């Protein structure tokens, strides 16, 4: 039974989608929340857009974060295009990583004032949700001084967020049954001497996105202390009034 005292967060499943389209979806949703917050108290019109978690799987793409400086991004785009992948530089933390088929990608667009306005707290809860998801499959993981979630010296989940007025976007990518050979074309997250792994690799059998999604959403709801409500992207967007 739903607990009305817990914040409501919608889950919108984008399916298999290009990175650019998913990025634009996040940006539009984030800007609508920030715009609403920018209006003076008492003069806000309408309701605040609902906190939403976007789930998707990407076509092959390499993305670089805002720490990537002094690179020829056009040359990188041509290089990755030759192997069948897109390339984007985006305003998240971290350096270069790969997204593609077999990854559970989660982009929470949340107004942290509805929860706790702390980016450190937010990153910690995302890490906690991923670690508990991995434990569901018997895979013990850990935090390290480097970003993401790790199994020994191999990263199983990449993370990078962006925040404006404590409204978040970007998020995480958990390797489920990802073709890890895509990572051979880069130094993932700029970390020399470190590798990547997946749930499939660690469990010893194929673990699909579909199989991992349920445990992940349960772990996220527990960590965020919220109600997650599924909503098809084809449906009308629901909003909640200001408190």
Burial class (CB in 10 A: 0-12, 13-18, 19+), 34: middle
Nearest to 58, CA basis, from 87, 27, 96: 87
Q: Which residue has the tokens 């191999």?
A: 154
CB atoms within 10 A of CB 71: 12
Given the DSSP bridges, would you call strands 103-109 and 52-58 parallel, antiparallel or unpaired? antiparallel
Catalogue the active-site residues: 189
| Burial class (CB within 10 angstroms; exposed 0-12, middle 13-18, buried 19+) of 220 | buried
CA angle 139, 141, 143 (to 5 degrees): 170
Per-residue 3-state assignment (H helix, E strand, C coil) for 74-137: HHHHHHHHCCCCEEEECCCCCCCEEECCCEEEEEEECEHHHCCCCHHHHHHHHHHHHHHHHHHC
């Amino acid at each position: 039974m739903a607990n009305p005292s817990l914040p409501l967060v919608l889950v919108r499943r984008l399916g298999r989608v290009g990175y650019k389209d998913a990025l634009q979806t996040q940006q539009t949703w984030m800007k609508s929340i920030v715009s609403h917050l920018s209006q003076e108290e008492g003069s806000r019109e309408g309701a605040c857009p609902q906190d939403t978690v976007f789930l998707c799987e990407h076509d092959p793409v390499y993305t670089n974060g805002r720490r990537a400086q002094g690179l020829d991004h056009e040359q990188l785009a041509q290089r990755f295009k030759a192997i069948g992948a897109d390339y984007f530089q985006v305003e998240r933390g971290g350096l270069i990583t790969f997204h593609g088929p077999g990854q559970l990608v989660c982009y929470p667009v949340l107004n942290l004032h509805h929860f706790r306005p702390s980016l450190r707290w937010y990153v910690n809860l995302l890490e906690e949700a991923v670690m508990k998801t991995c434990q569901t499959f018997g895979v013990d993981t850990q935090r390290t001084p480097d970003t993401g979630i790790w199994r020994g010296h191999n990263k199983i989940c990449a993370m990078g967020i962006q925040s404006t007025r404590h409204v978040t976007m970007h998020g995480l990518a958990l390797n489920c049954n990802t073709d890890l050979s895509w990572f051979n074309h880069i130094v993932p997250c700029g970390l020399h001497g470190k590798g990547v792994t997946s749930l499939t690799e660690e469990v010893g059998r194929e673990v699909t996105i579909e199989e991992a999604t349920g445990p992940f959403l349960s772990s996220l709801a527990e960590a965020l202390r919220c109600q997650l409500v599924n909503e098809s992207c084809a449906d009308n967007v629901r909003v909640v009034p200001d408190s």
